[in-house]
Amino acid sequence: MNFFSKNRFIFWLLCFLVVVNLSALIAFLVFFSLNTSDSAQQWQRTPGMKFRQELSLSPAQSEQVDVILAGYRESTEPLISNIRAYRAEILEELASDNPDTSHINAFVSEISSLQKQMQKASVNQYLALKEICTPLQCQRLSALYFELYGCQDSFRGRGPGKGMKHQFRRGQVH
């Protein structure tokens, strides 16, 4: 084979590989965008789907859950946007040449107050959900909230005040 026929072969091989890669990329993007839009639409249609599946809710309970979740979203959306605004203010203050710690501390206090309100809204949401659940559903609801808060049921059943205290003393589990 001479030099030009080798180059021609390599050129056509590269063209073929480019076409294969582009078609795979386009297929992936089309599949991924269809999947994402379907799941996003499903989430918008049924925001309480996780609760329905996990708790095996009846249709009447599902309607009540939708009302509770809508009320929760309505009460927490302004709080979330205010927290974001205060965080932006903190970052702007920190980015300035001479950050004023009194302003930063005031923003932190406001964020703490808003987070306290969000926590109260979460507690109210839990109590409202608990009222419409059966005892078995209440147990699963409690487990869901333990997962949501990152506790994973790890501190239950140890009695009052035990927690992680003295769990490993001198290499022994107590």
Decide: residue 74, CB within 10 A, 0-12 exposed, 13-18 middle, 19+ buried: exposed
pLDDT average, residue stretch 140-163: 66
d(CA 163, CA 167): 8
Same domain, 142 and 58: yes
If one compares 165 and 83, the residue with the highest pLDDT of the two is: 83
Same domain, 103 and 41: no
Q: Closest Cα to residue 54, out of 114, 138, 135?
A: 138
Which structure tokens are listed for 78? 């302004």
Residue 57 lies in a domain: yes
| Contact indicator for 13, 26 with CB cutoff of 8 Å | no
Convert the pLDDT of each residue in 91-133 to its tens digit: 998 998 998 989 899 999 999 999 999 999 999 999 999 999 8
Same domain, 41 and 64: no
Residue 15 lies in a domain: yes
Which structure tokens are listed for 128? 């409202």
Domain that holds residue 63: 51-151
Which structure tokens are listed for 106? 């005031």
Tokens 């409690």 sit at which residue?
Answer: 142
Residue 159 lies in a domain: no
pLDDT average, residue stretch 53-60: 84
Q: Which residues of 77-87 are buried (b: 16+ CB within 10 A; e: fewer)?
A: eebeeebeebe
pLDDT at position 128 is: 92
Decide if pLDDT at 161 tops 50.
no
Provide the CATH number for the domain around residue 122.
1.20.120.1490
Mean of the per-residue pLDDT values of the chain: 79
Query: How many of the other CB atoms lie within 10 Å of CB of 110?
Result: 16
If one compares 24 and 44, the residue with the highest pLDDT of the two is: 24
pLDDT at position 11 is: 85
Decide if pLDDT at 84 tops 90.
yes
Same domain, 112 and 33: no
Residue 86 lies in a domain: yes
Residue 84 lies in a domain: yes
Same domain, 124 and 81: yes
Residue 165 lies in a domain: no
Query: How many of the other CB atoms lie within 10 Å of CB of 153?
Result: 10
Number of structural domains in the chain: 2
Residue 93 lies in a domain: yes
pLDDT average, residue stretch 2-31: 82
Q: Is the dihedral of CA 44, 47, 53, 57 positive or negative?
A: negative
The pTM for the full model equals 0.59
| Contact indicator for 43, 69 with CB cutoff of 8 Å | no
If one compares 36 and 51, the residue with the highest pLDDT of the two is: 51
d(CA 106, CA 94): 13
